[in-house]
Chains A and B, each alone.
Chain A
Amino acid sequence: MYSFAPLIVLFPLLGFLINGFFGRKIKNETLVGSIGTLAVASSFVVALLIFVEMVGSPVEERKHIVTLFQWIAAGSFSVNVAFQVDQLSILMTLIVTGVGSLIHLYSIGYMHGDAGFWRFFTYLNLFIFAMLNLVLADNYLLMFLGWEGVGLCSYLLIGFWYDRNFEKGTTGDAAKKAFIVNRIGDFGFLLAMFLIFNTFGSLTYESVFAQAAGFSPGVSVMFWITLLMFVGATGKSAQIPLYVWLPDAMAGPTPVSALIHAATMVTAGIYMAARSSILFSLAPATMEIVAVVGLLTAFFAGTIGLVQNDIKKVLAYSTVSQLGYMFLAVGVGAFTAGLFHVMTHAFFKALLFLGSGAVIHAMHDEQDIQKMGGLQKYMPWTFRTFVIGSFAISGFPLLSGFFSKDEILWKSFADGAPWMWVIAALAAGVTAFYMFRLVSLTFLGKERFDHHHVHPHEAPKTMLIPLLILALFSIIGGYVGIPHVLGGHNYFEEFLEPVFAGANAKMMLPMHDSAALELGLMAVSVAVGLLGMFAGWKIFTEKPEIAENTAKKFSGLHKLLWNKYFVDEAYDAVIVNPIKQTSDKFLWKIFDVKIIDNTLNFSAKFVEATSNILRRIQTGVVQSYAVIFVAGILFILGYLIVW
């Protein structure tokens, strides 16, 4: 089956080509949507078959490299278009194609009647294609190509409704912001890639990691490589300080937010770190930075989510915060825990986004939760699935989020530091609180919307089926990784561990076998979560005045949170505006216009003018051509003889 791996990448490409070339001509929405969905679903089936074969084979034979063709070869430098199929990449592929096909299906209903229906599915397929290249590549260059590809698709899809307004600007502004912030990160990745090539003379994982195994931890070049990679990751995976684009990315259609900005693309940074685990393990300093950045992001993004009123914004900050958890896991060396959370998060966050999409759909594009309420009555199934998702993300015991989040919390305590655990647990409580605030304000309590204009209704089947499937996985998705302390068997960790064997050998993590401590900590974090859930539900369904009073009492803090710690403003003041000002006043008006443009224009004019004069050598008379011909001969022969 392994040799069929290229098919996984090929199907979405085909879908993209078909819809891209003929989508406009095919007037039938169902057909366009089915092509797009089937393309991704076929990839999922192939990936599943490979996965089944992989599980059935011995551990040593689970990694395969399928080379399609040699891409670039110049001297000692050679890069293939080749796919590395192993435990890690197949897991990511399954998540991307599995969740991806559900979201494609959902989009058929969601995008119904949109003028750009075919365009939407074209971009979506292109995104899946790029994302699969990213996760399946066997070298950094192809990964980078996918990395840039998903960035491009993200840009196209955020600005999909390019004629609509978004906040203070247009969706185009949001798209540009995402693209530019991502470019900063990409620059880091690119530099990391140069350094890798410089150090190892190759960009292929196999040879880079094999050579890296010979290094000992603490080499400074490793620090720089991994740090630059992490800069790339903060861009793509929305971590401090580059997270600011993700909330704005909500300008795109909701399925896009679910697919790209929650379940798949934003986890690319975690995938990259996990893939390069051995490099990270050689740089303890970077690991610490990763852990702290992840932790801070988890906490601060969560607190911003507490006060937001836009249903998608809340989910966006929640995504940033959950991504922070994943980086925390990576930073303390618990790669499998991070990836476990990637998987469960893909289920419940996609579910929540799709649910919010159903709500927005039903409310005729209203996103303000202050203008909702009581929707439970009108859309019972959306409500049920949304609540399941909220329970899962809040870490309610025995749902998927519980297992993955708890593993991260435990690892942050065991392999990190107790204070990390404290903050992470607090952030978990915050998560539970804002999620149930969201549920309460949206589905419960009084109906605050205008009955004359808005007639909420349950979502159509194509939208409900994905919700139900995702809800199912949000419940059971965690059972592949039950911690030992609860008497389970962590299949997930066992499956992935061989990929990180090299890294684990370098890190030599301390062994912990204090089951009592682990259980105790688990109980505390569950209690914090339950408290948050209860508070969120109680306050916003029954006593909203408590929230208002608290907001008034701590008006300074509220303002701070409401304005997202003024980070956007700070960036504007410290980075964007100075750059704009210098660009405008100096770089553009003086440097560019006066110096560069003049030089360029002058040289262009000069070249063109001389060209215009000199081309008259071409007189049109054969004789003059023959004269030049003979002159050329004399020169050449003269040179050859005289030498």
Chain B
Amino acid sequence: MRARRECLACREKKVMIPLNHYLLLSAFLFSCGVLGVVVRRNAIIVFMSIELMLNAVNLSLVAFGQFLGDATGQMLVFFVMVVAAAEAAVGLAIIISLFRNKQTVNIDELNILKW
């Protein structure tokens, strides 16, 4: 309780981290995610990189919402988290069924469909 009050206090004093810092961090995390998708071979790691991208966006959304004084951004974050959870469930299920058939989760070994 007390900590939260202090935080509110610091907002009133406007000693906040500027928006651009959040955005740059978010962009950096997003790029890490993209890079992970492009370079990693393991399907699960690729999937985790995608999650990283989504969470990077969440960071932006929260920051925007905070600075605009608007709840929409934060609300959208909840939706994104729900969607990410659903995607995780489905994605892991797909990876499991693949593993059952092929005993691998390396995506560069998946190329019966091509050209």
Give residues in A with beta carbon < 8 Å to B.
615-616, 618-623, 626-627, 630
Contacts and interface: CB of A to CB of B under 8 A. Distances in A.
A623 to B, nearest CB: 6
Contacts of A620: 110-115
A619 B114 contact: yes
Interface in B37-62: 37-39, 41, 46
B107 A623 contact: yes
Contacts of B38: 623, 626-627, 630
Contacts of B111: 619-621
A615 B114 CA distance: 9
B108 interface: yes
A618 B37 contact: no
Nearest to B114: A620
B106 to A, nearest CB: 10
Contacts of A626: 37-38
A627 B39 CA distance: 9
Contacts of B108: 621-623
Of residues A615, A622, A627, A630, which shows the largest number of chain B Cβ atoms within 10 Å of its Cβ? A622
Contact of B107 (A616, A618, A621, A630): A621
Interface in B97-115: 107-108, 110-115
A627 B107 CA distance: 14
Contacts of A623: 38-39, 41, 107-108
Interface residues of B, number: 14
Contacts of A627: 38
Contacts of B46: 622
B62 to A, nearest CB: 23
A623 B49 CA distance: 13
B30 to A, nearest CB: 11
Interface in B59-115: 107-108, 110-115
* 4 closest Cβ pairs, A-B complex: A620-B114, A620-B111, A622-B107, A621-B108
Contacts of A618: 114-115
23 contacts: A615-B115, A616-B115, A618-B114, A619-B111, A619-B114, A620-B110, A620-B111, A620-B113, A620-B115, A621-B107, A621-B110, A621-B114, A622-B46, A622-B108, A622-B110, A623-B38, A623-B39, A623-B107, A623-B108, A626-B38, A627-B38, A630-B34, A630-B38
Interface of B: 34, 37-39, 41, 46, 107-108, 110-115
Contacts of A619: 111, 114
A623 B115 CA distance: 15
A615 B115 CA distance: 5
Given A622-B110, A623-B41, A626-B37, 9 more contacts: A616-B115, A618-B114, A619-B111, A620-B110, A621-B111, A622-B108, A626-B38, A627-B38, A630-B38
A142 to B, nearest CB: 48
B42 to A, nearest CB: 11
Nearest to B37: A626
A622 B37 CA distance: 9
A581 to B, nearest CB: 48
B112 to A, nearest CB: 7
B68 to A, nearest CB: 23
Nearest to B107: A622
B91 to A, nearest CB: 13
Contacts of B41: 623
Contacts of B115: 615-616, 618, 620
A620 B41 CA distance: 14
A616 B112 CA distance: 13
A621 to B, nearest CB: 5
Of residues A616, A619, A620, which shows the largest number of chain B Cβ atoms within 10 Å of its Cβ? A620
Contacts of A622: 46, 107-108, 110
A356 B107 CA distance: 81
A626 B43 CA distance: 13
Nearest to A633: B34
B4 to A, nearest CB: 39
A618 B110 CA distance: 13
A623 B109 CA distance: 11
A616 B110 CA distance: 15
A351 B114 CA distance: 70
A198 B35 CA distance: 60
B36 to A, nearest CB: 10
A431 B39 CA distance: 93
A623 B110 CA distance: 10
A626 B34 CA distance: 9
Contacts of B114: 618-621
A105 B38 CA distance: 76
A618 B113 CA distance: 9
A546 B34 CA distance: 105
Nearest to B35: A630
Nearest to A627: B38
A621 B39 CA distance: 12
A620 B113 CA distance: 6
A621 B114 CA distance: 8
Nearest to B43: A622
A168 to B, nearest CB: 55
A427 B11 CA distance: 110
Contacts of A615: 115
A626 B39 CA distance: 9
